[in-house]
């Protein structure tokens, strides 16, 4: 049973437009959420995180939104750049130091 779901395996976006990556979770004990980005043949890289006491966290072009009642979070990338093309993993944990549960990933392609 997948506790963290990313229902879109892939997404294509035009350069300069907004990319929206979605994530749903089932475990109501999750309290801390992260996004990681992964390029081929490399390990994942931490991108941004949010705790459940917030509903939004922003870092440059990246914003994560959390809707705890819907058990849903999303990552917005504005504007999208070709270098953003990668697999994006949504992840969650019960506390900020508990084990991390990863979703299956969404492959983002930003078309020049």
Can residue 88 be called a binding residue for another protein (CB under 8 A)? no
Does 62 sit near another protein (CB under 8 A)? no
Q: Does 46 bind another protein (CB under 8 A)?
A: yes
Residues recorded for the chain: 112
Distance, first Cα to last Cα, the chain: 37
CB contact at 8 A, 93 and 103: no
Minimum CB separation from another protein for residue 83, in Å?
A: 18
Cis peptide before 79 (omega within 30 of 0): yes
Give the position of tokens 């870092």: 59
Span of 12-20, 29-37, 58-66, 67-75 interacting with another protein by CB under 8 A: 29-37
Determine if 101 is a binding residue for another protein (CB under 8 A): yes
Residue recorded with tokens 């917005």: 76
Binding site residues, another protein, CB under 8 A: 4, 6, 32, 34, 36, 41-46, 49, 89, 91, 93, 96-105
């Amino acid at each position: 049973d997948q506790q963290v779901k990313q229902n879109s395996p892939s997404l294509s976006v035009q350069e300069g437009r907004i990319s929206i990556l979605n994530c749903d979770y089932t475990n109501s004990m999750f309290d801390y959420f992260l996004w990681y980005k992964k390029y081929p043949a490399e390990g994942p890289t931490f991108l941004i995180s949010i705790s459940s006491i917030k509903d939004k966290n922003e870092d440059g072009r990246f914003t994560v939104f959390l809707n705890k009642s819907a058990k849903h979070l999303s990552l917005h990338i504005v504007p999208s750049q070709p270098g953003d093309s990668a697999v994006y993993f949504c992840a969650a944990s019960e506390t900020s130091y508990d084990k991390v549960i990863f979703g299956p990933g969404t492959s983002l392609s930003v078309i020049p």
